[in-house]
Structure 1
Amino acid sequence: KLDGHLKSKDFFEVETFPKATFTSTEIKAGGEGGATHTITGNLNLHGVEKSVGFPAKIKVEKDKVTAEAKFAINRKDFNIVYAGKADDLIKDDVLIKLTITAKR
């Protein structure tokens, strides 16, 4: 039930905006909080594109590359709001956790 509500026009409007995309523009060695790199790029979410940056742990192995990251975005920056007073009860920051593995 919650998934259906989040996909509705009240939040993500997945019928209108079926995809979120991230395109990296820079990956620099070094980061904070134990990160090995800082990744910067353009996040397109809910029809809004914004530049975002976040620390990541990148591990390069013989046959693959793995990146792990945990960072927050403000949902209101992407026009994700819940109409009415109930919006005040929803946190603005949304935590994103990701693990990406790519073949080398």
Structure 2
Amino acid sequence: MSTTKWVLDPTHSELGFKIKHLMISNISGSFQQFQVAVETDNDNFSTAQIRATAEIASIHTNNEQRDHHLRNSDFFDAETYPQLTFSSTKVEQLTDDTFNVYGNLTMKGTSKPVKLTVEYSGVTKDPWGGQRAGFTVTSKINRSDWGINFNGVLETGGLALGEEVKVNSEIQLVKQLATVTA
């Protein structure tokens, strides 16, 4: 059996999120700098070992003032905790193209287990002779589980920000040419 390594194509991938604002609409954001590395037995993604990192300083919500606030200690504290990380612990194949991926998400120095829902779009040959695999990744997390508690109370008694964060990512991986025999 051989181990296959897959690396992120950052040009064709995105690591996004949404959170309720004023409890009436969602604000979207993303991390502009992130990496994903995957190892599989041959090309079998049900055996995947996944490691991902995102640079907190690269957070982007289409509003520089908000991005700066998200980087400070009210939220992510990017100076003290410059990255968030995910490491898989288990992959559960549900159908030919659907997986649950379990792992540990670390933000602000706190690690918690999470479950990601992954839709596998398949593998294709690219115009340069390489192989690429595509995935849509979704999840929901509670930001306060990682100590991200900043909020504001509205005149109506509600909160400015929701606790639930929806993760929505498109990931394209490139198969590395060399395989290592295990």
For residue 30 of structure 1, give the secondary structure of its aligned residue in structure 2.
strand
* Deviation, structure 1 residue 48: 0.5
Cα deviation per residue 1:33-67 (whole Å; 9 max; x = unaligned)?
Answer: xx611111110111110111121101331412222
1:69 corresponds to which residue?
137
Relative to its length, the structure with more helix (as a share) is 1
Larger Rg: 2
1:100 corresponds to which residue?
171
Counting matched residue pairs gives 101
Taking only aligned residues, the RMSD between alpha carbons, in angstroms, comes to 2.1
Normalized against structure 1, the TM-score is what? 0.84
In structure 1, stretches of 5+ residues that fail to align are none
1:18–1:69 CA distance, 2 compared to 1 (3 A): same
Identical columns (%): 28
Question: Letter of the aligned partner of 1:4 in structure 2?
Answer: H
1:11 corresponds to which residue?
75
In structure 2, stretches of 5+ residues that fail to align are 1-64, 125-130, 176-182
Aligned counterparts of 1:69 and 1:84: Cα–Cα separation in 2: 30
Normalized against structure 2, the TM-score is what? 0.50
Question: Letter of the aligned partner of 2:165 in structure 1?
Answer: V
Q: Which moved more, 1:78-87 or 1:65-74?
A: 78-87
Relative to its length, the structure with more strand (as a share) is 2
Say whether 1:43 aligns with 2:105: yes
Cα deviation per residue 1:48-100 (whole Å; 9 max; x = unaligned)?
Answer: 10111121101331412222112210000000111775794321111111122
With a CA cutoff of 8 Å and minimum separation of 6, indicate the structure with the bigger relative contact order. Answer: 2
Aligned counterparts of 2:173 and 2:107: Cα–Cα separation in 1: 23
Q: Where do 4+ consecutive residues of structure 1 move more than 2 Å?
A: 83-89
2:148 corresponds to which residue?
80
